[in-house]
Amino acid sequence: MAGQPYIYSGPGFSLLRDKNRFVLPKELRSPVRDSSGKDVLCLAKHADWKCLVGFGLSRVEDFETQLDAEQVRADTAGKPFNRDSRAMQLYNFQQVPFDGSGRFTMPEALAGLAAVGEQLFFQGIGRTGILIWNPEELYKHAEDPAFEAAIATCRSLQEAEIAKAKKS
């Protein structure tokens, strides 16, 4: 686990399924499994957006280095930095098991923080992990060009999953 950076890339979409479970997309499941050394997805509230961030356990090893770097940036910019407050954000994650097919149950507290409903859009964002959105929350960022591709991908995957579910 240690020493190797894990890269999360690609999108995915899941509808709420039987037994109140979502499915972690196959493309994102492998890096989570490899990083955690087991079928465990770490989930936390994103610091700035109304979504969740998911990652494997190995990312926790980088939190202190990240805190140090954020402290240096704040000090250099002459801005205040509350290390304890930021650490509370980083370390406030839940370990959520998933099965071999990627099925997992969303913790209630996190679901509430991210307005999770019956649909999830997943977007890998490199070493940080996976952004996990309620599509309606993602769509609120439509005016921001940085979200354009993610929104288009989400809409396309959403339509395909809903059509597939209607056929079942």
Q: For the whole prediction, is pTM greater than 0.85?
A: yes
Whether 2 maps to a domain, the answer reads no
The tens place of each residue's pLDDT in the chain, 168 residues long, gives 445 779 999 999 999 999 999 999 999 999 999 999 999 999 999 999 999 999 999 999 999 999 999 999 999 999 999 999 999 999 999 999 999 999 999 999 999 999 999 999 999 999 999 999 999 999 999 999 999 999 999 999 999 999 999 987
DSSP H helical ranges for 53-130: 63-77, 83-91, 108-113
- Measuring CA to CA, which residue among 32, 1, 31, 27 is closest to residue 13? 27
Whether 1 maps to a domain, the answer reads no
Q: What CATH number corresponds to the domain at position 82?
A: 3.40.1550.20
**Distance between CA atoms of residues 14 and 103, nearest Å:** 10
